[in-house]
Amino acid sequence: MSFTNTVKNEVVKVPLSKLEQISLLSALLTNTMDTYDDHKVITESAVVAKFIFTLIKDMYSSYIKVSVRKGYNYNKNYIYILDITNNFSIISEDLSLNKIIPDSYLIDDIDLKKAYLRGVFISSGSISDPKKSRYHLEFVFNSLEYAMFINDMLNSFDLNSKYLKRDNRYMVYIKESEKIGDFLRIIKATNALLYYENIRILRNEKNILNRINNCEQANVDKIIQTAANQIEYINYIKTNDAFDMLDEKLKDVCNYRLNYPEVSLSELSNIMSLETQSKITKSGLHHRFNKIKLIAMKLKEKNNQQ
């Protein structure tokens, strides 16, 4: 079972007040009504079909004819069709189905908005499994006006959603992992939220560890390259018989670098301080190696001129 279906299966079991049921059913029917016959509801989910059937029957005592058929275009999924044969005008009026944007009484407080968004997700939402792919939550609608309406509602909860046109439809989406977790909390998908957050934390820890390892490797590479450059300058000075021209402090630094070719400046300063019983700091070593580099560069410049 996909993560989307897991979330939907959990959400349809969330207890609701009578008003919340009306708001949720409004969103459900708005996004599942047949384009060519507004008495019919179409969905590929047996769970959603059963949920809508139960809500309509309990709330409006309507007779609903249910049929099942194979999907078109080589779609192997079944399509569930609910034909609302009576009381449809009352249902349509109550749930604001004859309007693109629902009446305000369906969403005039936070709990009703949450219920409405729950219905939107059940009917037209999908969410990627955080264990298998990137973080992504989306809703797909036929109307730009409705997509903008849902986008604004999501952002009223600070979810940072966006919308775009995709083919002949409109997608509202959220890509920030924390915001997707917030949405699951809003629609009361508690078990899915716990699973999602556990995976998100593990992925974040793994990413942090990778960044730390990359930084450490970069530091090691930098240390090795710096030491190699210093040894190259020292060897150039020796090759050109200029080593004896160095003062004793510079000679000591050169000899210690040659004896410890892979340690960092900080480690080299500790070694020299311990063995010579004379404190030398990392910055002091850096200053001496700069002098050695300058001497080597002057020798190279002189040799190039000859």
CATH code of the domain in which 97 resides: 3.10.28.10
| Confidence class for position 136, pLDDT limits 50, 70, 90 | very high
Identify which has the larger pLDDT, 72 or 282. 282
| Confidence class for position 75, pLDDT limits 50, 70, 90 | low
Instruction: Flag whether 204 is in a domain.
Output: no
Q: Which of 147, 171, 188 is the last residue of a domain?
A: 188
Overall number of domains in the chain: 2
Percentage of residues in the chain having pLDDT higher than 70: 98
Tens digit of each residue's pLDDT (9 = 90 or more) over 203-230: 777 777 778 777 878 887 788 888 888 8
Instruction: Flag whether 226 is in a domain.
Output: yes
Q: What pLDDT, on the 0 to 100 scale, is given for residue 105? A: 93
Identify which has the larger pLDDT, 24 or 88. 24
The residue-averaged pLDDT of 270-292 equals 87
Identify which has the larger pLDDT, 109 or 87. 109
**Are 33 and 215 spatial neighbours (Cβ–Cβ below 8 Å)?**
no
Instruction: Flag whether 195 is in a domain.
Output: no
Instruction: Flag whether 93 is in a domain.
Output: yes
Residue 74 has pLDDT above 60, yes or no: no
Same domain, 228 and 171: no
Same domain, 118 and 256: no
Q: Which of 121, 155, 188 is the last residue of a domain?
A: 188
| Confidence class for position 305, pLDDT limits 50, 70, 90 | confident
Same domain, 298 and 167: no
Same domain, 30 and 74: yes
Same domain, 136 and 88: yes
Instruction: Flag whether 196 is in a domain.
Output: no
Same domain, 93 and 138: yes
Same domain, 71 and 154: yes
Instruction: Flag whether 200 is in a domain.
Output: no
Same domain, 174 and 122: yes
How does the average pLDDT of the chain come out, rounded? 88
Same domain, 142 and 254: no
The residue-averaged pLDDT of 273-287 equals 86
Same domain, 254 and 165: no
Residue 16 has pLDDT above 80, yes or no: yes
Instruction: Flag whether 99 is in a domain.
Output: yes
Instruction: Flag whether 206 is in a domain.
Output: no
| Confidence class for position 72, pLDDT limits 50, 70, 90 | low
Same domain, 145 and 92: yes
Q: What pLDDT, on the 0 to 100 scale, is given for residue 153? A: 97
Range of the domain at 71: 3-188
Same domain, 123 and 264: no
